[in-house]
Amino acid sequence: MTSPTQSRARRSGRKERHARRAAPPKVNPCPPGQFGGQYKPLSEHDLNAIFDTALRLLAELGMGETPDRLAKALLDAGATRLGDRILLPRTLVRSTLATAPRTFRLHGRDPSRSIQVGGQRVYFGTGGAAVQTLDLNTKQYRASTLQDLRDFTRLQDRLTNISWFTRCCIATDIEDTFKLDVNTAYTLLKNTTKPVATAFTLADHVAPIVNMLDVAAGGPGAFSQRPFLKAHISPVISPMRYAEDAVDVTFACLEHNIPVSCITAAQAGATAPATLAGFLAQSLAETLASLVMVHVIKPGHPMIFSNWPLVIDLRTGAFTGGGGEIAVLNAASAQLSNWLGLPSGVAASMTDAKALDAQYGAEKAMTSLAAALAGGNLIYESSGMMASLLGVSFEAFVLDDEMHAHTYRALRGVEVTPENLGFDAICEAIMGEGHFLGGAHTLSAMERDYFYPGIADRDTPKTWEDKGAPDAWSVARTKAQAILDEHHPNYLTPDHDKDIRARLPIL
């Protein structure tokens, strides 16, 4: 019969074990910034063929609808005109590639949160412009609001594996585009110190927002010395033409030294060829056209080469964010960008699922792992996005953050060293206890080499049932709600906030 003292000791032991499980690891076994590049869907011949076709498209077909100011800059740099199209010769494209930055620092307002973009390092972050939010309480979709953006910003501020934050939803409760752009940037500024990104509807919106960023950075001109916000711009509209408003925004951003992600977002079978090879050739040409544009405006300016191949369901014409095609296309895009030596941006984890279900998990894991293994430097849309980018979810942010940890652990791979090979440990176990549990070799590897999930359930069926048979959705909701209840950052001083509110229409 068990004595009361023994029972208390067992309960105490269980509490200690649970506490150890819940505590963060002493050494993070899978930090962001692991190296990709292991998955290469394209051969060297494929890479050259796609690149050559892209160069031919730019040199022989060129770009349409080029705004006059950009056309002049391109022509002065060596482009030629053919009717109403601007042709970009191979020499201009190659000279751009030779001088474009290979790496650069993406600053956070907190320097410890800055990241180095380029090479083979992989970072997961956000993107998207979801107009609907999956409500944390009702589990139904509704229109996204400014309050949702605030809540998403402060939620991800506590999630380790989301390395930068782009506004993930549109505040549909703000109709005026200037107020929308201003309040979006203000929300990012106030609620996180990670690197952030936003979009500018019009070029005229850039300068006032930079003035706000200067206030937070310490004074006039301070932001441009260490820019902690980048712009998402789509200056090329598929197929093969420039977008005047976005080009104007690009000029304004470069004037204020704002790093840019120039995003090409063609859709296979609609605005680009349905064949994957043809799609990659056109999409590469269009993203190169953005790079040339940046180069002729301001040589050497940091640009994320954001070649995002997107797919539609050819039966219905609906955008689809999950599936094998999107996985291999974005992996191939990352491989192409890295092969060219450019900081790469791709999109992954854009599930078509509306609920946090099996479809959600399969599509997110498959597409994000493929992009990471291929070496995408910045993997956009990878956190929180659902419903083919129409929706965003608080619970998804939490689940995706854990998924990224597993991906980083896979990228880290196997470290083969004399110590890790464990010859002596194997001998000691065989000649001693006959197992490795509790051995020094096991204990040293326990936290260094293994990631222990906090959301995924590893209990026995009986233990899981005794706990109420919770699913991942409910566990993630509990964690998301706990962060939102507890974490209320304000990264602006009262004086800075007062100054900004005096200048701009902060809601």
Q: Output the average pLDDT for the chain.
A: 94
- The Cα 133–Cα 136 span in angstroms is 9
Residue pLDDT, tens place only, 354-365: 999 999 999 999
The residue assigned the tokens 């703000």 is 174
**Sign of the C-alpha dihedral computed for residues 159, 162, 163 and 169 taken in this order:** negative
Q: Which two tokens stand for residue 427?
A: 């001998």
Distances (CA, A) of 336 to 48, 79, 99, 272: 9, 24, 17, 17
Q: Output the pLDDT for position 447.
A: 86
DSSP 32-74: S--B------S-HHHHHHHHHHHHHIIIII-EES--HHHHHHH
Q: Which two tokens stand for residue 127?
A: 């993107």
pLDDT surpassing 60 at residue 25? no
Give the pLDDT mean for 452-461. 95
Distances (CA, A) of 306 to 263, 286, 377, 388: 5, 10, 10, 19
pLDDT surpassing 60 at residue 17? no
Half-sphere exposure (Cβ direction) of 446: Cα atoms closer than 13 Å? 13
Percent of the chain as helix, strand, coil, to the nearest 5: 50, 15, 35
Residue pLDDT, tens place only, 405-450: 999 999 999 999 999 999 999 999 999 999 999 999 999 999 899 9
Q: Among 18-27, 58-67, 477-486, whose mean pLDDT is lowest?
A: 18-27
Residue pLDDT, tens place only, 187-217: 999 999 999 999 999 999 999 999 999 999 9
Q: Output the pLDDT for position 128.
A: 85
- The Cα 343–Cα 382 span in angstroms is 17
Q: Output the pLDDT for position 15.
A: 55
Give the pLDDT mean for 147-156. 98
DSSP 115-171: EEEETTB-EE-----BSEEE-TTT-SEEE--HHHHHHHHHHHTT-TT---EE--B--
Q: Output the pLDDT for position 200.
A: 98
**Sign of the C-alpha dihedral computed for residues 168, 174, 176 and 181 taken in this order:** negative
**Sign of the C-alpha dihedral computed for residues 117, 120, 123 and 127 taken in this order:** positive
Distances (CA, A) of 140 to 151, 174, 476: 17, 21, 16
Residue 12 CB burial class (10 angstroms; 0-12, 13-18, ≥19): exposed
pLDDT surpassing 80 at residue 350? yes
Residue pLDDT, tens place only, 381-392: 999 999 999 999
Q: Output the pLDDT for position 24.
A: 55
Q: Which two tokens stand for residue 436?
A: 């490795």
Q: What is the DSSP letter of 203?
A: G
pLDDT surpassing 90 at residue 1? no
pLDDT surpassing 70 at residue 366? yes
Q: Output the pLDDT for position 16.
A: 56
pLDDT surpassing 70 at residue 144? yes
Type and span of the H or E element at 276:
helix 276-297
Give the pLDDT mean for 311-328. 93
59-98 CB burial, b ≥16 within 10 A, e <16: bebbbebbbeebbebbeebebeeeeebbbbbeebbebbbe
Residue pLDDT, tens place only, 153-193: 999 999 999 999 999 999 999 999 999 999 999 999 999 99
Q: Name the CA radius of gyration of the chain, rounded.
A: 25
Band of the pLDDT at 27, cuts 50, 70, 90? confident
**What does residue 262 show for φ and ψ, rounded to 5 degrees?**
-90, 110
Q: Output the pLDDT for position 9.
A: 47
Give the pLDDT mean for 364-380. 97
Q: Which two tokens stand for residue 37?
A: 């590049």
Neighbours of 218 (CB within 10 A): 12
Cβ–Cβ under 8 Å, residues 261 and 304: yes
